[in-house]
Amino acid sequence: MKRHTVSLCIIARDEEATIGMAIKSVLALVDELIVVDTGSHDNTRIIAEGYGAKVFDVAWEDDFSAARNAALDQASGSWILVLDADEFLEPVRPVEFQRLLHDPAAAGYRLRLTGVGGGLTSAMTSRVRLFRNVPEVRYRYPIHERLAPALGAWAEQQNLLILDSDLAVVHERPDSERRSHRRERNQRILRRALADFPNEPYFPFRLACEGLSQMDGEVLPVAGLGAALVLLRTAWARVRAMDAATRSSLTWLPELGARLTSGLLAAGEVDEAAETINEIRNLAPDHPLVLLQSVAVDCALLPTLEGPGTKTRRAKVVARARRDLKTVMRSASQVGGSPVDSRVRELYPLRYQGELALLEGRVTEALGLFEKALSLDPAYSCGWLGLAECSRFAGDEKRALKLYLRTVTENDDNHRAWLRGRDLMLRLEFQDNAASWWRKVVEKFPEHPAVVANDPDHGRRGSAGPTSPVPVAN
């Protein structure tokens, strides 16, 4: 079997701490090391050259595709493997790696990407990182750059396929300072991309995500939520204007729908959230993220149902939500070629099953579901909140109060726990404690509907707002 040659392509800037690890992980697999340096001031070049890499200086112009394509232009191997400087490839036998390259039907391969740590709390996705070296295949977009569209078009012309693989890339988590720097850089590039691609929905979607704060995939009503929703609505409007064939090619559409729906719920826009998720379900009917958000909308709608036929309507909503949760829990580990976070398939459905059981008054069943969730992740704050709600439903208010405290101790982004705990403190006439918890809500969640209803200008003003206890929506 004739050996295929492979070029490793990396772009880097001030990556002396990790680039050696990245290169070492593939030394036995590749024939050529190409490093594009976009302006390092540390020992990145020296370390890369020490491993035999060809290092090319390329001026940084806020364009990841330009830098990556500059690396691809220097590659002479018949295949290209792309890594970031803070990633490494998990061990694979060279013979198994070559076997992938000898598949005559393969134009390229998707590799699994995961963060350091693994396990239930490790989010995963997949990206095309290994592909044939042809001049027609280049990256597109200045940020969140994409190779798959160009590779897919070329593969279709050649009657080839983009295939999944068992190869896994591990990404080193950056420290807080680097995360902050990258966020500022990404926002700058995305704002420019909005002007350069005025009809493209991807960039308002990605810019919105840069500004969203989330807890377990749930959007939080913190400062900036309103601005993010404007961007998400813009992206969704542009998607809706596309023809059906183009929409079906958007692999990130389920995430857009989930984030927009979750953001609308966080802002108290339940009716719009319901309309949005119903439209998204027609486009991505079985995607776990979409189904989970549909269940979240149902849980928000159930307490609002009233009038003639309420019992029948509630039963239909609960039945639909339960069916959706079963579908999520039975879903494959990959959907549309992208791995699905195990928390989405295993942990989050237990939370919503527990909430549905509580809404129907089945406390014992709900208790068991929340306890099962905590057995999977003892730090899961929504599990502790569920136990608090069970205790409160059963009349054990003092235990409920302790569990609300445990919930915010595990994760102080759990705004429901702050509000529900504060509400119970008012009932028990712990006025000072209730006032303290309300101040926390106003400080951390200025765009929560309860805060906005009490002081509509607070979110825009960024002030501390009133501190006296007032009734809030639960």
pLDDT at residue 274, rounded to an integer: 96
In angstroms, the CA 54 to CA 257 distance is: 43
pTM of the model: 0.77
Contact assessment for residue 80 and residue 72, using Cβ atoms and an 8 Å cutoff:
yes
In angstroms, the CA 222 to CA 239 distance is: 26
The C-alpha angle 326, 328, 330, rounded to 5 degrees, equals: 70
Contact assessment for residue 356 and residue 299, using Cβ atoms and an 8 Å cutoff:
yes
Closest CA to 292 of 344, 255, 356: 344
For helices 270-283 and 253-266, give the axis angle rounded to 10 degrees.
170
pLDDT at residue 123, rounded to an integer: 44
pLDDT at residue 302, rounded to an integer: 93
Task: Take residue 190 and report the two structure tokens written for it.
Answer: 């995305």
Contact assessment for residue 474 and residue 417, using Cβ atoms and an 8 Å cutoff:
no
- Return the amino acid letter for 207: L
CA atoms within 13 A on the CB side of 124: 29
Q: Which residues of the chain have pLDDT under 50?
A: 117-124, 459-474
Could you tell me where the DSSP H helices lie in 126-199?
Answer: 148-157, 176-196
In angstroms, the CA 411 to CA 416 distance is: 11
Cβ count within 10 A of residue 398: 10
**Residues 16/18/19/23 CA torsion (nearest 10 deg):** 150
Pairing label, strands 6-12, 79-82: parallel
Residue 436, burial from CB neighbour count under 10 angstroms (0-12, 13-18, 19+): middle
- Return the amino acid letter for 199: N
pLDDT at residue 342, rounded to an integer: 81
Task: Take residue 442 and report the two structure tokens written for it.
Answer: 């106003």
pLDDT at residue 338, rounded to an integer: 59
Contact assessment for residue 187 and residue 105, using Cβ atoms and an 8 Å cutoff:
no
Cβ count within 10 A of residue 176: 7
pLDDT at residue 364, rounded to an integer: 97
pLDDT at residue 114, rounded to an integer: 81
pLDDT at residue 459, rounded to an integer: 45
pLDDT at residue 464, rounded to an integer: 33
In angstroms, the CA 128 to CA 161 distance is: 12
Tokens 């939370």 belong to 351
pLDDT at residue 314, rounded to an integer: 92
